[in-house]
Amino acid sequence: MSRKDKTKRIEELNHRLSALKEQKRKLDAEVEELAEKRNHLNGEFKRLKAEVQKLKSSRDEINTEVKELKGQRIQLKTEIAQKTNELRNLKSKIEALTAKKTSRSLNALQKEFEAIEWRIQTTPLSLKEEKKLVERVKQLEDQISVYRKMEQLSQKKLELTAELKALEARAKLLQERIIEKAEKSQKIHKEMLKKAEEARKLKKEADSVHKLFLQAKEKVKNLLEEIKKILEEIKRLEGEVRAEEEEERRKSEENLLEKIAKQAMDKLKRGEKLSWEEFKILTEKGTA
């Protein structure tokens, strides 16, 4: 390759180098932009992931509360069933006693009981009369006892009914709380799934951008390798051109010195005076 061809080749390579450097500059900007976008997406992904975890913790906490409330509800239902059974038994007992009581009122029975006792205590009676009255007193006591038991059972019935209503009210309130908590849990779960889906999409996009980032980095690497090769070729060609120019300059100087030396020798032959430069050249060549 001639020096002219080499110089032309160097110009072509420099032109190609400029184009590659511009291409690399654009790729570097693209790499930086992709890295920023990827980092932003990953940051958003981490933020959403933390929100999902927070929502999950809230949901799980509420679900634990719901589980505890349901346990309380089961216990209340057991208590309600027990109280209901007790109340049913009481009603059966009251009904049985009702069937045993007389048509007379408790007040009438008590008055008759007190009157007979007074008569026994204050009136002289024959053994037959006293025995008859004592038997009547026993009958009255039995009848009064029925009323007393009915009163006791009725009072207990009222108490049990009140307790049962209180338990049922607690059970209703508990059920309302369970529904409220369950609805809240479902709402949080729905929000959690929404956030999780958003996070999944962001992660997918971040991974896609990271892939583009790696591809761009690979292009930059390839460009750098090509730039390096071109720089090495330019350096080699420029070295060869400089060496050729140096050789050409050396030969030109050598020819010039030969010419001057020949002219100086001709002057010496003619007996003419030499200049200092001519004398120096002849001395260096060893002809003076």
Q: 3-class DSSP state for residue 101?
A: coil
pLDDT exceeds 60 at position 35: yes
Q: Is residue 283 part of a domain?
A: no
Q: Is residue 219 part of a domain?
A: yes
What is the reported pTM? 0.62
Query: Which CATH number do you get for residue 127?
Result: 1.20.920
The mean pLDDT value for 168-175 works out to 94
Would 279 be classed as within a structural domain? no
Query: Mean pLDDT score of the chain, rounded to an integer?
Result: 89
Predicted confidence band of residue 104 (pLDDT cuts 50, 70, 90): confident
User: Is the alpha carbon torsion for 70, 75, 76, 81 positive or negative?
Assistant: positive
SS3 category, 267: helix
- pLDDT tens, 56-89? 999 999 999 999 999 999 999 999 999 999 999 9
Highest mean pLDDT among 107-111, 183-187, 256-260: 183-187
Q: Is residue 237 part of a domain?
A: yes
Report whether pLDDT(287) > 70: no
- pLDDT tens-place string over residues 222-240: 999 999 999 999 999 999 9
Q: What is the mean pLDDT of residues 92-103?
A: 80
Task: Identify whether the C-beta of residue 66 lies closer than 8 Å to the C-beta of residue 189.
Answer: no
**Residue 57 falls within a domain, yes or no?**
yes
Each residue of 204-222: pLDDT tens digit?
Answer: 999 999 999 999 999 999 9
* Model pLDDT, residue 288: 54
The amino acid at 79: E
Measured CA to CA, the distance from residue 188 to residue 194 in angstroms comes to 10
- Measured in Å, how far apart are the chain's first and last C-alpha atoms? 42
Q: Which residue is listed with tokens 């009369």?
A: 129
pLDDT band at 172 (very low <50, low <70, confident <90, very high): very high
Instruction: Using a pLDDT cut of 90, give the percent of the chain over it.
Output: 58
φ/ψ (deg, to 5) at 286: 80, 25
- Tokens representing residue 267 in the block: 């002057």
Residue 135 is encoded by which pair of tokens? 């038997």
How many domains does the chain fold into? 1
Q: Is 243 part of any domain?
A: yes
d(CA 244, CA 208): 54
Q: What is d(CA 75, CA 69) in angstroms, rounded to the nearest whole number?
A: 10
Averaged pLDDT for residues 8-32? 94
Distance CA 179, CA 66 (A): 9
Domain that holds residue 117: 3-266
pLDDT at residue 286 greater than cutoff 70: no
